[in-house]
Structure 1
Amino acid sequence: MRWIKLLSALGKAKLRPKLKGSETSSLNFRVWITDIDISVMNHAAIMTVFEMGRADYMVRTNFFKVATKNKWFFPNQAINAQFYRPLKMFQKATVYTKMSFVDETYFYVEQKIMRHGKPIASCFANGLAKKGRETIPTSEILKSLKIENKDVPRENHALICMFKEKNSKMTEKIIDNW
């Protein structure tokens, strides 16, 4: 069922207004019976909503079209999610997605789910574009999208540093020293 929601978000994004890379995407959704465990939306369903938000952002900024044309795919390298409040069946909420930072290799994306002005969950993810085994530099992607460097966040802020440090420690502990 979740893949249907994701495909639906992709289709609807094509009909929505285009966005600049520096703008924030917002996508409304409703919790359905297939999204809940017992009585609240489960974490897997929330992660699908975050994916829907990133897909909406990619389509509306034209990244999805350019990536398809160039046969690029875009795996996430790491995702950090925090859950604050539950969502119950049939409740409505909104997922917001914005570009937080761009370096030579990665795009960093901030997301949050809000309901009536209160945070439900937040997500911070980084990803890149690849063609086969080749990593596509972000400068090439921005050029293809006709986005000026000044129009994307290039300031490495504290959240980026914490995210990189946490992921490095996790890799060291789980992968290198299992």
Structure 2
Amino acid sequence: MRWIRLLLALIQAKFKTKLIGTETVRKSFRVWISDIDVSVMNHAAIMTVLETGRLDLMVRSNFLKVASKNKWFFPSQAISIQFYRPLKVFQKAQIFTRISYVDAKWIYVEQKIERKGKIIAACIVKNTIKKGRETIPTSEIMKALQIENVPTFKYDLIKTYELENIHMTDKLVDNWDN
């Protein structure tokens, strides 16, 4: 079902208005029966829904077209997510997606899922753009997308996120046995 949801998101995005710069993208979705674990939407399904939000952003900003033309791919280095409330079958919610910070190497994307004004989940995704093993400078990407108002202010949330990733790597990867 994951691929069906992603394919539908790709098709729907092609018919939506193009983005200007770093606007916030809003996308509605409904919880399918296949998304349910016991009685609520499972976390893997929520991650897929968030992926459809990023796909919507990439298509509407023309990034997917530019990336294909240049043979770029865009691995996520880290995703940090918080779950706040459950979603039940057939409930409708919205995903909000935006580019929140860009430095020389990384593009940070913020996302949240809301239902009736209440936060269901929120995440930050740290991405880079590659061509083979080469990392493409974000300035080149922003220029190719004709984005001038690039968010370059590293606010507290991004700083906290980076520190948490350093600590997590230290504990889970470098010092597993300690």
Q: TM-score, normalised by structure 2?
A: 0.97
Cα distance in 1 between the residues matched to 2:26 and 2:19: 11
Residue 159 of structure 1: aligned partner: 157
Runs (4+) of structure 1 moved beyond 4 Å? none
* Within-5 A mapping of 1:64-83: 64-83=64-83
> What's the CA shift string for 1:75-95, capped at 9, x where partnerless?
101001110110000000000
Residue 118 of structure 2: aligned partner: 118
* Within-5 A mapping of 1:76-91: 76-91=76-91
Residue 60 of structure 2: aligned partner: 60
> What's the CA shift string for 1:37-63, capped at 9, x where partnerless?
011000000000110000000110111
**Given that residues 25 and 53 in structure 1 are in contact (C-alpha distance below 8 angstroms), is that contact kept between their aligned partners in structure 2?**
yes
Cα distance in 2 between the residues matched to 1:97 and 1:54: 7
Residue 21 of structure 1: how far off its partner (Å): 2.8
Residue 31 of structure 2: aligned partner: 31
Cα distance in 2 between the residues matched to 1:162 and 1:3: 33
Residue 49 of structure 1: aligned partner: 49
Residue 137 of structure 1: how far off its partner (Å): 0.4
**Given that residues 79 and 124 in structure 1 are in contact (C-alpha distance below 8 angstroms), is that contact kept between their aligned partners in structure 2?**
yes
**Given that residues 22 and 147 in structure 2 are in contact (C-alpha distance below 8 angstroms), is that contact kept between their aligned partners in structure 1?**
no
**Given that residues 114 and 120 in structure 1 are in contact (C-alpha distance below 8 angstroms), is that contact kept between their aligned partners in structure 2?**
yes
* Structure 2 gaps, min length 5: none
Q: What is the alpha-carbon root mean square deviation over aligned residues?
A: 0.7
> What's the CA shift string for 1:9-41, capped at 9, x where partnerless?
011101100012320000000000000001100
SS of the residue 1:174 aligns to: helix
Residue 143 of structure 1: how far off its partner (Å): 1.2
Q: TM-score, normalised by structure 1?
A: 0.97
Cα distance in 2 between the residues matched to 1:152 and 1:70: 21
Cα distance in 2 between the residues matched to 1:166 and 1:174: 12
Whichever residue aligns with residue 66 of structure 1, its letter is V
1:175 has 2:162 as partner: no
